[in-house]
Amino acid sequence: MSLESAVGPAVTKCGDSEFKWGSRTYIMGIINLSPDSFSGDGLKTADAAMAQAEEFIREGVDVIDVGGESTRPDSKPVSPEEEMDRIVPFIRRLAKITKIPISVDSYKTGVARSALDVGACMINDISSLKEEPGLAGLAAERGVPIILTSNERGRQVDDIMAAVRDNLRRLIEKTVKAGVSRENIIIDPGIGFGKTVQQNLEIMRRLEEFRALGRPLLIGTSRKSVIGAVLDLPVEQRLEGTAATVAICISRGADIVRVHDVRQMKLVCKMSDAVVRGNFKG
């Protein structure tokens, strides 16, 4: 199965941008406005977040993912009001300086709605629509892309590939029934999110199997615990491990990579695309 033929339709529109799946790997840069982020990159002020976003823009990011609540397994949930206070003013400010698509990383319908109102044009749901199924209806109402993540927290899984594949298939069907056009669905097998180290490694090793679902694949390995477990390194020393996982996932069909280190991963993507997609024209 070629990278170009696995996804249809081959284009997803997001704001003023188009993602032409199969042409290259797209880069999603992470902006965390949660002080307890697992990766240690939580930004406590809007000015610090803006400086990070501006750096991402200079480095050639394709979409900026803004979140206000940590996804660490032991993190404390925040109220929708607090989450909105963290991200909505920032998204409003960011949307005024760039046409690069802004994604809201939230599973709460009210938070996502407020973010879309001020300039976001994509929803990134890490909950498998478990928390608020109405999020799919919001994506349909606004005509925006939605990222669906397979989240295995809270359940025992033996055959991880079957479990994730079935969950993503169910999520696609549920989202389409809610009125979301198929071209606006992006899937994420959810590295971390209740999976063991061995299960995460298996997902990366067999990533191309998810392409049978016919939707573009987002992969988020950046600085995650699976890298720390394999290399026995703390979060701040996982750049090379992240680069390895990004390159391997591109070779197995990833369409978007969600990363903290845009400049370095852009080089990894460019080299990987030259080999995998044959798009070097020099």
pLDDT in tens, 59-101: 999 999 999 998 776 777 889 999 999 999 999 999 999 999 9
Residue 3 banded pLDDT, cuts 50, 70, 90: very low
What are the C-alpha distances in Å from 50 to residues 29, 90, 225? 13, 8, 27
Residues 129-157 have pLDDT tens digits of: 988 889 999 999 999 999 999 999 988 89
- pLDDT at res. 131: 82
Domains and their CATH numbers in the chain: 11-271 (3.20.20.20)
> Which tokens is 77 given?
């949930």
pLDDT digits (tens, 9 = 90+) for 249-258: 999 999 999 9
Q: Is 238 a catalytic residue?
A: no
Stretch 194-223: mean pLDDT, rounded?
97
Known catalytic residue: 96? Answer: no
Cα atoms in the 13 Å half-sphere on the side-chain side of 54: 10
Closest of 67, 102, 196, 215 to residue 148, by C-alpha: 215
Q: Are strands 102-105 and 256-259 parallel, antiparallel or unpaired?
A: unpaired
- Among residues 108, 252, 258, 266, the one annotated as catalytic is 258
Catalytic residue among 224, 238, 252, 266: 224
Does residue 261 register a pLDDT over 70?
Answer: yes
**pTM across the whole model:** 0.93
Q: Are 143 and 162 in contact (CB under 8 A)?
A: no
Give yes or no for a contact between 95 and 76, defined as CB atoms under 8 angstroms apart: no
Alpha-carbon span 70 to 83, nearest angstrom: 10
Provide mean pLDDT across the span 44-49: 83
